[in-house]
Amino acid sequence: MMRSVLAIDDDVDTLEALSIALKMHGYDVYTACTGMEGIQLARQHQPSIILVDVMLPRMDGYQVCRHLRADPATAHIPIVMVSARGRIADQAAGIAAGATRYVIKPLSLRSLVTLVDALTSVPVASS
């Protein structure tokens, strides 16, 4: 099974850098510049993991995360919130919204790829 990543960020340079780094590590990469577009792509492609920026136009990353967690089709997908907002309150809000991890920008692409590898290689428990 091909591992895939959905990256949601309103900065096209960030999306491009993420795409290149993740594709070099064998991932299919889908990108979205808005929260609604990201939610639609998540439903359509069922990615292995979702990376979402907190600060997005119209619908922020917290709202995106809550939408994805509320939808049975996407509720199981690991979500990593990526943000320049590093206060404890911001991190707590991300986890409360349903994020699997909250990482603070700037971070190296190598670190992010390592985290994606770790979260996508976790065996899924059967119920």
Q: Domain of 9: which CATH number?
A: 3.40.50.2300
Write down the pLDDT at residue 123: 56
Write down the pLDDT at residue 122: 54
3-state SS, 16-68, equals HHHHHHHHHCCCEEEEECCHHHHHHHHHHHCCCEEEEECCCCCCCHHHHHHHH
Number of Cβ within a 10 Å radius of residue 93: 20
Q: What is the pLDDT along the chain (127 residues), one digit of tens a residue?
A: 579 999 999 999 999 999 999 999 999 999 999 999 999 999 999 999 999 999 999 999 999 999 999 999 999 999 999 999 989 999 999 999 999 999 998 889 999 999 999 999 855 444 3
User: Is the whole-model pTM more than 0.85?
Assistant: yes
* Residue 13, beta-bridge partner list: none
Write down the pLDDT at residue 79: 98
84 domain-assigned: yes
125 domain-assigned: no
What token pair was written down for 113?
């790829």
126 domain-assigned: no
How many domains is the chain built from?
Answer: 1
Q: Which domain holds residue 91?
A: 4-120
Write down the pLDDT at residue 2: 77
127 domain-assigned: no
91 domain-assigned: yes
**CA distances from residue 31 to 34, 47, 98, 126 in whole angstroms, order as listed:** 9, 11, 20, 29
- In which region does residue 58 sit, left (phi positive, over 0), alpha (psi from -120 to 50) or beta (all else)? left
